[in-house]
């Protein structure tokens, strides 16, 4: 069964308050999303496997722990997921980056796929899917299905803000996927937007609409 982690660290909550504020412009919004993503990267990598290695310090040889060679991939869901990539890469610089393009049809709220380019060895990688918003859950659930069709086996999902409906959708369809969110909000409104949320993440990141 999926583990759902709400990462309510004071720094994350503080930055999230600025991100939610409608007066925050695209430049600050982008910077803050990057910073929160870096803090989320710390949490989502907490249980990575480690191995013991011998290290020669200037004084003696000692046993140290290092990551056990697990290869990682970060997969943003376009467009808004792009805003989370640099923050993740700042803590996981050796990760490869795949891209999945999905947009939500404004009438039906169903995700429509338009792009997919993944590292060729995605099946051997620990995959972190990133998207700031988990609303109905359709986009994230479809992105994960696509990754599984390409062979990915170990997948985690990181979002900034989630509606309970989105969490249920993803965890019902993908009980093997753990979900990390900065905030679980109250609900979806009649237009499928998260309440209180932050509005349209893609438009706020890229200054569109």
* Binding site listing: 79, 104, 131-139, 194, 199-201
Name which of 50 and 114 has its Cβ closer to ligand PRP: 114
Residues annotated within the binding site for uracil are 194, 199-201
Q: Three-state SS for 16?
A: helix
Query: Which does residue 76 bind out of ligand PRP, ligand URA, none, counting CB within 5 to 8 angstroms by kind?
Result: none
Residues annotated within the binding site for 5-phospho-alpha-D-ribose 1-diphosphate are 79, 104, 131-139, 200
Residues that bind ligand PRP (CB under 6 A): 77-80, 103-104, 109, 111, 131-140, 166, 192, 200-202
Query: Which does residue 89 bind out of ligand URA, ligand PRP, none, counting CB within 5 to 8 angstroms by kind?
Result: none
Among 107, 93, 86, 110, CA closest to 37: 86
Q: For residue 188, how far is the Cα from the chain centroid? A: 20
Residues that bind ligand URA (CB under 6 A): 80, 133, 135, 192-194, 197, 200-202
Cα-based distances in Å from 26 to 29, 55, 59, 159, 181: 5, 45, 50, 19, 22
Query: Which does residue 152 bind out of ligand PRP, ligand URA, none, counting CB within 5 to 8 angstroms by kind?
Result: none
Query: Which does residue 111 bind out of ligand PRP, ligand URA, none, counting CB within 5 to 8 angstroms by kind?
Result: ligand PRP
Name which of 43 and 200 has its Cβ closer to ligand URA: 200
Yes or no: say if 104 and 139 are a contact pair by the CB < 8 Å rule.
yes
Counted residue by residue, the chain has a size of 209
For the chain, where are the alpha helices, taking DSSP H only? 10-20, 26-44, 85-91, 138-149, 164-173, 201-206
Name which of 41 and 135 has its Cβ closer to ligand URA: 135
Query: How far apart are CB 37 and ligand URA at their closest, in Å?
Result: 15
Name which of 126 and 131 has its Cβ closer to ligand URA: 131
Yes or no: say if 156 and 176 are a contact pair by the CB < 8 Å rule.
no
**HSE (side-chain half, CA atoms, 13 Å) at 154:** 15
């Amino acid at each position: 069964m999926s583990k759902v982690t709400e990462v309510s660290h004071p720094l994350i909550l503080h930055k999230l308050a600025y991100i939610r504020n409608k007066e925050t412009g695209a430049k600050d919004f982008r910077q803050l999303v990057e910073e929160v993503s870096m803090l989320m990267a710390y949490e989502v990598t907490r249980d990575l496997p480690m191995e013991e290695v011998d290290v020669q310090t200037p004084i003696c040889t000692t046993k140290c722990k290092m990551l056990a060679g697990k290869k990682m991939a970060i997969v943003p869901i376009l467009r808004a997921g792009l805003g989370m990539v640099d923050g993740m890469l700042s803590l996981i610089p050796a990760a490869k980056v795949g891209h999945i393009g999905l947009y939500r049809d404004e009438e039906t709220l169903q995700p429509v796929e338009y792009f997919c380019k993944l590292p060729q060895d995605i099946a051997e990688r620990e995959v972190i899917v990133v998207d700031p918003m988990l609303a109905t859950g359709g986009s994230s659930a479809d992105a994960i299905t696509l990754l599984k069709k390409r062979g990915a086996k170990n997948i985690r999902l990181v979002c900034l803000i989630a509606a309970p409906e989105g969490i249920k959708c993803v965890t019902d369809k993908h009980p093997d996927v753990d979900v990390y969110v900065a905030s679980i909000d109250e609900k979806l409104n009649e237009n499928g937007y998260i309440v209180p949320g932050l509005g349209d993440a893609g438009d706020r990141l890229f200054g569109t609409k």
